[in-house]
């Protein structure tokens, strides 16, 4: 094109179609991409074509910053953060890139002048669901903050061909549908074939002598898989820094076995190819309940080995030595999923780079740090030794050696405490030996952190208490946070505009500045607009509910929302018991006065988790009865929104009045949805669990609806013998609620459908719903009362937002940078781009 030519000769004085920012240039670039990349004439293009063309137009505007960032990182002497995570729930890229590049308004205008509506185009993007829930989304928020804070960083993970399944609801039940997110192509990734790495599996080890007669071990694998890097740019907000998310795709080393092919064994010829590619095929849809399957261990080792080889290769290229690796690399293990890193790093240093064990161990320990994300005992990863041995024979040897040396140290520190040795050992004895990944991660890291103050305390006192006794200085807390760019600015634009109008726009990078909103607390116009924004957001959600669930909801009712993965410890069914309680009150007294409520649920159940699926069915069954009963007169409505995801979250959080954070105290490590609701002006009803505690501390106890047992009380009651039946027998309403569920009132024709749910509550009640029922119900009554006082509710809502600054992931990341990673920001200055000289 003419402008490009002009650009090359005149050193970007003329706007380039690839970088120019004027509306005219953007329109031309969009049309050009539609024609040349999508291969479509505008009159024949569909919305996917528009989305693709617009994504390329936006990506072009990222590339100069991205490549310049890579150049600066290559040239300067820096320390880089490597965030290793089996999950990255990035959310849609296009809207976020436009926001972070400050391009949103211009593109909106350009698209409008091309006859299109930007929001409709944005909706075309498949939500890249390469994660299950909080843990994967946290990784994505961290990448956003790292780039925004100009920290050299890289995310490493797996490029799953199928992300978290799509959930549809059929006859009230969850049905899982494969997520073919790549079917129309992915404009956000760049494949870097030249950086392919080889990953070994299986086989055996042998000892050999090198030229100087020194003995070494080598690993002879039974098969090798290739890891192909797929890079996605991660732009910071209003900065030149664009970091990289590198996801590995597994491919066969050779396309197929020629010998087999030539001898006519066509199936055998492609078998290895299929086996290799299976490794990055699909995300395990488990959240807080890992599956001990071989493929899962293969996935973990695959992305760990690719990533560590990549880090070492780049480091060697730059510095030519490895002894200073820890000065230039900080590797964070996001839970135990990448914990095999400890053994793989030792193998790479000792076997491949012939380093002495002690030196390698020093480097490993000073490079790695580990974040624990759960106290749930069933979620702590352990791998059977036989599986380990067949898949990673060399790593098992290394783990035994690490363990041997570690336990020797323990013995000198604490002589004659065999019980302690058994608890600390990386290998669990008895009932089939197992490798304990949390122990491996803790021993091999210089820092171990929990994700909220209570969680870290419980780690120290409970799950990792013996390690805490050994190394108290390793343990530290890093309360989670979320990025206000996606969760406020992108999700809630009119609300953001109102805030910016009052306090200026810098709050998006310094969330503590939201405090300034408190000076407007008596400003009538501000308060009116605050309510208008919430009302409009509720209307948008109401429209969505009508379109998807065919349920009409009252936007003047309390929007009472619980969205998160379905899990018994999160207690969606406690919410449901309360709803049934209200319904029975209406049935007993049809004229009863009640503050109208709309109960909204959303969340996926792990496909193999029967009870979680039954809870979804129960919510839908209750919804069917309640929503259709004319006696209710619309006072309560119940809605289950299918397929909760990051993008649906962007619609939901801004529309909430009440955020349900009702996990059994001590079970939710942190929670991050709680923060997203708070930042968008919802009040919380919650237990003293995870980050709820810190949210309440920040917003003030008068602006938070607290109920329920504390973590200590839960433990005490369990210890003393908890009997849920006592509550059933002494609480009439609770008894009626459970009886109705159990006798099939909500499941006509299937009398016993919900019996397993009720039985589990009456006989075990692991998560103490019955113990907390009355406190919850009383607290909900206070919510209803409070909502009637519109002015007071508005004040509480404003205060929640004004005091939510702590929960920006920027704050969290700064703490990681200062206290664990010891890294500093690096400025990226743009240079004029000149293709002729590049």
Question: Interface mask (CB under 6 A) for ligand GL7, residues 432-461, using x and -?
Answer: -------------------x----------
- Please, are residues 18 and 28 in contact by the beta-carbon 8 Å criterion? no
Q: Give least dist CB 28 to ligand GL7, A.
A: 44
Active site residue 570: yes
339 belongs to the binding site for ligand GL7 (CB under 6 A): no
Catalytic residue among 570, 578, 613, 667: 570
374 belongs to the binding site for ligand GL7 (CB under 6 A): yes
Judged by CB under 6 A, the residue of 108, 125, 150, 287 near ligand GL7 is 287
Query: Other C-beta atoms within 10 Å of 558: how many?
Result: 23
Q: Give least dist CB 138 to ligand GL7, A.
A: 4
Say which DSSP state 808 is in.
Answer: B
Residues 6 or more apart in contact with residue 677 via CB below 8 angstroms: 561, 653, 656, 659, 684
Residues 124 and 600: their CA atoms lie apart, in Å, by 25
Token duo for residue 263: 């001898």
Catalytic residue among 676, 803, 806, 811: 676
765, containing H or E segment: none
Query: Other C-beta atoms within 10 Å of 222: how many?
Result: 12
Query: Other C-beta atoms within 10 Å of 111: how many?
Result: 23
Q: How many of the chain's residues bind ligand GL7 (CB under 6 A)?
A: 18
- Residues making up the chain, counted from first to last: 838
Residue ranges in 471-490 that form contacts with ligand GL7 under rule CB under 6 A: 480
Nearer to ligand GL7, 129 or 671 (CB): 671
Q: Give least dist CB 300 to ligand GL7, A.
A: 14
- Please, are residues 667 and 689 in contact by the beta-carbon 8 Å criterion? yes
Residues 677 and 679: their CA atoms lie apart, in Å, by 6
Catalytic residue among 25, 664, 672, 678: 672
Judged by CB under 6 A, the residue of 125, 310, 568, 668 near ligand GL7 is 668
Which 3 state secondary structure label does DSSP give 602?
A: strand
Q: Give least dist CB 686 to ligand GL7, A.
A: 13
Nearer to ligand GL7, 290 or 724 (CB): 290
Active site residue 362: no
Judged by CB under 6 A, the residue of 484, 690, 708, 805 near ligand GL7 is 690
Residue ranges in 747-806 that form contacts with ligand GL7 under rule CB under 6 A: none
Q: Report the DSSP pairing between strands 558-563 and 658-661.
A: parallel
Q: Select from 45-53, 662-670, 754-762, 779-787 the region that touches ligand GL7 (CB under 6 A).
A: 662-670
Reduced 3-state DSSP string for 300-343: HHHHHHHHHHHHHHHHHHHHCCCCCHHHHEEEEEECCCCCCHHH
669 belongs to the binding site for ligand GL7 (CB under 6 A): yes
Residues 6 or more apart in contact with residue 813 via CB below 8 angstroms: 142, 145, 146, 149, 151, 481
Residue ranges in 170-229 that form contacts with ligand GL7 under rule CB under 6 A: none
Strands (E), 667-808: 683-686, 705-706
Residues 6 or more apart in contact with residue 97 via CB below 8 angstroms: 58, 59, 62, 103, 233, 235
Q: Select from 152-160, 196-204, 597-605, 670-678 the region that touches ligand GL7 (CB under 6 A).
A: 670-678
Nearer to ligand GL7, 196 or 286 (CB): 286
Q: Give least dist CB 668 to ligand GL7, A.
A: 5
Query: Other C-beta atoms within 10 Å of 218: how many?
Result: 12
134 belongs to the binding site for ligand GL7 (CB under 6 A): yes
- Please, are residues 542 and 555 in contact by the beta-carbon 8 Å criterion? yes
Residues 162 and 166: their CA atoms lie apart, in Å, by 10
Query: Sheet holding 434-436: strands in order across?
Result: 382-384, 434-436, 427-428
373 belongs to the binding site for ligand GL7 (CB under 6 A): yes
Nearer to ligand GL7, 133 or 602 (CB): 133
Q: Select from 114-122, 128-136, 238-246, 275-283 the region that touches ligand GL7 (CB under 6 A).
A: 128-136
338 belongs to the binding site for ligand GL7 (CB under 6 A): no
Q: Select from 211-219, 372-380, 410-418, 818-826 the region that touches ligand GL7 (CB under 6 A).
A: 372-380
Using Cβ positions, the residue closest to ligand GL7 within the complex turns out to be: 134
Active site residue 79: no
Residues 529 and 527: their CA atoms lie apart, in Å, by 5
Q: Report the DSSP pairing between strands 153-158 and 204-209.
A: unpaired
Q: Give least dist CB 376 to ligand GL7, A.
A: 8
Question: Interface mask (CB under 6 A) for ligand GL7, residues 713-742, using x and -?
Answer: ------------------------------
Active site residue 565: yes
Judged by CB under 6 A, the residue of 95, 126, 133, 708 near ligand GL7 is 133
Which pairs with CB-CB distance under 8 Å and at least 24 residues apart come from 99-104?
Answer: 99/237, 99/485, 99/486, 99/489, 99/490, 100/144, 100/147, 100/148, 100/235, 100/236, 100/237, 100/238, 100/485, 101/58, 101/61, 101/62, 101/235, 102/238, 103/21, 103/58, 103/61
Question: Interface mask (CB under 6 A) for ligand GL7, residues 582-621, using x and -?
Answer: ----------------------------------------
Q: Helical H runs in 123-219?
A: 134-148
Active site residue 564: yes
Catalytic residue among 564, 597, 667, 803: 564
Judged by CB under 6 A, the residue of 132, 241, 647, 795 near ligand GL7 is 132
Active site residue 676: yes
Q: Give least dist CB 370 to ligand GL7, A.
A: 13
231 belongs to the binding site for ligand GL7 (CB under 6 A): no
Active centre residues (catalytic) = 373, 564-565, 570, 672, 676
Give the footprint of ligand GL7 on this chain (CB under 6 A): 132-135, 138, 287-288, 373-374, 379, 451, 480, 668-672, 690
């Amino acid at each position: 094109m003419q402008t490009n030519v002009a650009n090359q000769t005149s050193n970007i004085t003329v706007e380039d179609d690839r970088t120019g920012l004027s509306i005219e240039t953007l329109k031309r670039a969009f049309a050009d991409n539609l024609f040349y990349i999508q291969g479509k004439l505008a009159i024949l293009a569909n919305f996917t074509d528009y989305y693709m063309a617009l994504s390329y137009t936006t990506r072009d505007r990222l590339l100069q910053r991205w490549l310049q960032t890579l150049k600066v990182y290559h040239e300067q002497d820096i320390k880089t953060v490597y965030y290793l995570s089996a999950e990255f729930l990035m959310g849609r890229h296009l809207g976020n890139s436009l926001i972070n590049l400050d391009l949103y308004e211009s593109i909106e205008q350009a698209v409008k002048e091309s006859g299109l509506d930007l929001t409709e185009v944005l909706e075309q993007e498949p939500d890249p669901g390469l994660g299950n829930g909080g843990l994967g989304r946290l990784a994505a928020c961290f990448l956003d903050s790292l780039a925004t804070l100009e920290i050299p960083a890289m995310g490493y993970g797996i490029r799953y061909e199928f992300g978290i399944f799509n959930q549809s609801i059929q006859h009230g039940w969850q049905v899982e549908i494969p997520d073919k997110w790549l079917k129309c192509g992915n404009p956000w990734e760049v494949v870097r074939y030249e950086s392919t790495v080889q990953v070994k599996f299986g086989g055996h080890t042998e000892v050999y002598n090198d030229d100087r007669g020194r003995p070494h071990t080598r690993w002879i694998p039974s098969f090798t898989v290739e890891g192909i890097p797929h890079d996605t740019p991660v732009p910071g907000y209003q900065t030149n820094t664009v970091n990289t998310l590198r996801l590995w795709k597994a491919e066969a080393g050779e396309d197929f076995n020629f010998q087999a092919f030539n001898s006519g064994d066509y199936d055998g010829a492609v078998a290895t190819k299929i086996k290799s590619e299976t490794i990055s095929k699909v995300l395990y849809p488990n959240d807080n309940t890992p599956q001990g399957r071989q493929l899962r261990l293969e996935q973990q080792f695959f992305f760990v080995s690719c990533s560590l080889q990549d880090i070492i290769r780049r480091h060697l290229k730059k510095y030519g030595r490895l002894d200073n690796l820890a000065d230039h690399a900080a590797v964070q293990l996001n839970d135990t999923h990448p914990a095999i890193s400890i053994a793989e790093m030792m193998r790479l240093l000792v076997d491949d780079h012939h380093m002495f064990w002690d030196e390698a161990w020093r480097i490993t320990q000073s490079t790695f740090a580990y974040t624990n994300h759960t106290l749930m005992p069933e979620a702590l990863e352990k791998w059977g030794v036989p599986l380990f041995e067949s898949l990673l024979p060399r790593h098992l040897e290394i783990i035994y050696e690490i363990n041997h040396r570690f336990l020797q140290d323990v013995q000198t520190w604490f002589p004659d405490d065999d019980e302690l040795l058994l608890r600390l050992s990386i290998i669990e004895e008895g009932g089939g030996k197992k490798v304990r990944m949390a122990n491996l991660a803790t021993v091999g890291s210089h820092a171990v952190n929990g994700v909220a103050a209570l969680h870290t305390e419980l780690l120290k006192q409970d799950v990792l208490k013996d390690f805490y006794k050994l190394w108290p200085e390793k343990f530290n807390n890093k309360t989670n946070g979320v990025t206000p760019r996606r969760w406020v600015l992108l999700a809630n634009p009119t609300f953001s505009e109102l805030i910016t109008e009052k306090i200026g726009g810098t709050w998006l990078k310094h969330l503590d500045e939201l405090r300034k909103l408190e000076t407007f607390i008596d400003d009538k116009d501000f308060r009116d607009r605050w309510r208008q924004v919430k009302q409009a957001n509720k209307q948008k959600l109401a429209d969505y509910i009508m379109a998807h669930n065919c349920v009409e909801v009252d936007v003047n009712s309390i929007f009472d929302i619980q969205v998160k993965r379905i899990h018994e410890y999160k207690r969606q069914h406690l919410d449901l018991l309360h709803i049934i309680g209200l319904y029975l009150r209406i049935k007993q007294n049809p004229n009863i006065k009640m503050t109208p409520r709309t109960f909204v649920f959303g969340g996926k159940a792990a496909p193999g988790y029967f009870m979680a699926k039954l809870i979804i069915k129960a919510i839908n069954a209750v919804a069917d009865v309640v929503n259709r009963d004319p006696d209710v007169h619309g006072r309560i409505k119940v809605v289950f929104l299918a397929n909760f995801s990051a993008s649906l979250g962007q619609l939901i959080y801004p529309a909430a009045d009440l955020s349900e954070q009702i996990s059994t105290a001590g079970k939710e490590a942190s929670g991050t949805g709680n923060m997203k609701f708070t930042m968008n002006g919802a009040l919380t009803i919650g237990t003293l669990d995870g980050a709820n505690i810190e949210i309440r501390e920040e917003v003030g106890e008068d602006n938070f609806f607290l109920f329920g047992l504390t973590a200590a009380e839960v433990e005490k009651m369990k210890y003393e013998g908890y009997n849920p039946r006592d509550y059933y027998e002494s609480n009439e309403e609770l008894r009626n609620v459970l009886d109705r569920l159990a006798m099939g009132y909500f499941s006509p024709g299937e009398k016993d459908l919900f019996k397993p749910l009720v039985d589990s509550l009456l006989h075990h009640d692991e998560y103490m719903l019955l113990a907390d029922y009355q406190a919850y119900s009383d607290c909900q009554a206070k919510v209803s009362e409070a909502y009637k006082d519109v002015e007071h509710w508005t004040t509480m809502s404003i205060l929640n937002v004004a005091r939510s600054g702590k929960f920006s992931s920027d704050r969290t990341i700064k703490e990681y940078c200062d206290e664990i990673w010891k890294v500093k920001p690096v400025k990226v200055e743009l240079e004029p781009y000149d293709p002729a000289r590049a």
